[in-house]
Amino acid sequence: MAYGFARKIDLEKQNITAKQTLQEWVTFFETLEDPRGKQGREHDFLSIVMIAILAVIAGAEGWDDIELYAESHQVWLEELLELKNGVPHADTYRRVFALINPESLQSCFLSWVKQIIKETKGEIIAIDGKQSRGSYNRNQKKSALHVVSAWSNKNRLVLGQVKVKDKSNEITAIPALLELLDINGCIVTLDAMGTQTEIADLIIQQGGDYVLSLKANHPTLLDSVKQCFNPLNLRDGKEIISECSHESKIEAGHHRLEKRFCWVLPVIQIKGLYQQEQWNELKTIVMVNRERHLWNKIQIETQFYLSSLSCDAKLISRAIRQHWGIENQLHWILDVTFNEDSSRIRQGHSPENFTLLRRMAISLLNQETNSKRSLRQKTKRAAMNCNYMFDVLLSALK
């Protein structure tokens, strides 16, 4: 009897702490406007939003999954949220998230991001786009949702996202995304689509530095940069020209061996680089050679970059390497763990809002570091164990 009484007290304390934690999360979304009409509001708006967030953390891929999560944890949720009429049905989530303003929802999410990130100086921010192929609607002639995201490698979370407008491309979305971010003192990495003089200007104006991939969309400049590296007399990865900074690295794993060589030249030492004056604060050009030894073949790739950073091959090589974090730690997870490409959510603002919920879930799960599990296993554990879900929410507030 004594043990049972003590156990009951522990559970009550745990529920009080969980309620306080969830209420703290609710405060991040208090400014979110309820888009529903004044009549027919059967369920509390913020409770709907919070259940959706919890369900997606637990791996929900659609509205029916959210309803199933809520029904499975109804007793627990009724202790923490305002659910006088029980948990909402799938159609309620569908209608509400089709109406919620995506920019307002993101603004609420970014209020949490700003609380988590205390120091951004020296942070490497990777920006890249991803398309949700399943959101394509042939009947309504709506193209698939294409979103450009900013990824913080150090904090392993999404810093913001912007939808690419129909009949447009990432070039127009990247500046809008940069304006949402505080990039002062940060290094921004972009693939070839973002290698534009206007984008480089904006990054410098906001106090950041850039490392931009240079490919065939700037053919004359690319040829000019290639010519700059031709005179280098490289022997076993060691440069002869003193002005050139160099780094080499060898990594082995997953049945493959990868050798990477990075050479950086200061622009001030170069004569006749094509239209170099158009690139704000352009200080260095970069050549990276990657040699991958697989079990059945060898792959060799050479890539060139423009950068506003000084001639430091170690720093620039790290920034280039970490740019792939947005592919490996975000885009791959979205497709493999959250099945984003298979999602058929299409109505109203739902596709954009649900993509944000997925990115929010990844960001929150990454803040919980006590469990040495994959993100897929973390989502399953959060679905099965309310205490672990509470741990995820609490870890993301520290």
- For the chain, domains (ranges, CATH) are 2-100+368-395 (no CATH), 113-332 (3.90.350)
Q: What is the pLDDT of residue 11?
A: 42
Phi/psi at 34 (nearest 5 deg)?
-70, 115
Q: What is the pLDDT of residue 167?
A: 66
Confidence of residue 259 (pLDDT cuts 50, 70, 90): confident
Phi/psi at 84 (nearest 5 deg)?
-65, -30
Buried-state track 155-167, b at ≥16 Cβ within 10 A, e below 16: bbbbbbbbbbeee
Amino acid at 146: H
Q: Is 173 helix (H, G, I), strand (E, B) or coil?
A: helix
Handedness of CA 178, 59, 136, 107 (dihedral sign): negative
pLDDT in tens, 305-337: 999 999 999 999 999 999 988 999 999 999 999
Confidence of residue 141 (pLDDT cuts 50, 70, 90): low
Lookup: tokens for 144: 């698939």
- Confidence check: pLDDT of 241 > 60: no
Q: What is the pLDDT of residue 295?
A: 79
Percentage of the chain beyond pLDDT 70 is 89
Beta bridge pairs of residue 246: 263
Residue in 152, 274, 310, 128 with CA at minimum distance from that of residue 213: 128
Residue where the block lists tokens 């997953």: 254
Which pTM does this prediction carry?
0.88
Say which DSSP state 241 is in.
Answer: S
Q: Provide the strand spans (E) within the chain.
A: 124-132, 145-152, 157-163, 187-190, 209-214, 245-253, 256-266, 284-293, 298-307
Q: What is the pLDDT of residue 134?
A: 67
pLDDT in tens, 334-393: 999 999 988 888 888 999 999 999 999 999 999 999 988 999 999 999 999 998 999 999
How large is the average pLDDT for residues 195-211?
96
Residue where the block lists tokens 């399943």: 134
Q: Residue 255, by phi and psi: left (phi above 0), alpha (psi -120 to 50) or beta?
A: left
- Confidence check: pLDDT of 10 > 50: no
Q: What is the pLDDT of residue 268?
A: 86
Q: What is the mean pLDDT of the chain?
A: 87
Helices (H), 58-164: 63-72, 74-80, 90-99, 102-116
Q: What is the pLDDT of residue 358?
A: 96
Cα–Cα dist 390/201, whole Å = 43
Residue where the block lists tokens 């989502």: 379
Q: What is the pLDDT of residue 229?
A: 84
Q: What is the pLDDT of residue 9?
A: 34
Higher pLDDT, 6 or 284: 284
